[in-house]
Amino acid sequence: MTAIQVRGLRKSYHDVPAVDGVDLDIRAGEVFALLGPNGAGKTTTVEILEGHRSRDAGDVSVLGSDPGTANRAWRGRIGIVLQTANDAAELTVRESVRHYAGYYADPAPVDDVIEQVGLTAKAGARVKSLSGGQRRRLDVALGIIGRPELVFLDEPTTGFDPEARRQFWELIRNLARTGTTILLTTHYLDEAEALANRVAVIAGGRIVAEGTPATLGGRSTAKATVSWMTADGPRSTLTDTPTALIAELSRDGELAELTVTRPSLEDAYLELIGEPA
């Protein structure tokens, strides 16, 4: 089943194209990451999918409806976690989640959602007392209280320290395990590689590549760099057959400091958007 289908999406601002013919298919239940530099059309595309921005042309279906004309029942089927959110600092965590629950016809139990995002110990704490990571967990709680089938996550871990990011990743993995479709936008390539089933790169308003993190931009078939240390210093070479090369080199004995590497997701991404690695 397809959760999101986009064909020929276009949007311009003052005759300058921001989205210039985007096609997308996102399957139900998958985590899909949309990557791209600032100004590439990423935010405009997502806002159109959320029903927050009109489009100039193209066909868009999100959960079987056109987000530009969808009704309130459709909005109850999606959850949105913005990069920045204005919260009621004086309310407690439980009060905030309960307040948002009132917007939905069939919300999940408040305390169950608080537990799901790992804030049970903070349920009675005022929002203003939460750490940055805890506030993002609250943002997710507010985004999923309506039992959404599809969740939009916009730069969810911006500003997090490494430990907080990995804790948040586990929260997203747990959400994905329930079968929720997740559309993630992020500037962190390791985040996309850790969480996404598939990724797409948008640049200049167009999708320039799409695939799994392991295959994006031809990573899986790119030449490997074999490096090793010799008596004369370090050596390295590019090859399509690293196993055969290592076997040949090993005939003269053990290879010191041997490594085999292929292009990283970051390498592939930078090449796709036209930036030097």
pLDDT band at 75 (very low <50, low <70, confident <90, very high): very high
pLDDT at 150 over 60: yes
Closest CA to 198 of 251, 259, 265, 133: 265
Using an 8 Å Cβ cutoff, are 149 and 1 in contact?
A: no
H helices of 188-273, where?
Answer: 189-195, 242-249, 265-272
Position 191 scores a pLDDT of 92
Residue type (1 letter), 32: F
Spatial separation of the C-alpha atoms in residues 42 and 156, rounded to whole Å? 15
Q: Look up the pTM and report it.
A: 0.82
Q: Residue 253 phi/psi, 5° resolution? A: 125, -175
pLDDT band at 275 (very low <50, low <70, confident <90, very high): low
**Contact partners, residue 145, CB within 8 Å, separation at least 6:** 79, 97, 100, 101, 104, 107, 108, 110, 113
Helices and strands in the chain: count of H runs, count of E runs: 9, 12
Fold classification of 1-77+149-217+264-277 is Rossmann fold (3.40.50)
pLDDT at 16 over 90: yes
Range of 22-31, 76-85, 133-142 with top mean pLDDT: 22-31
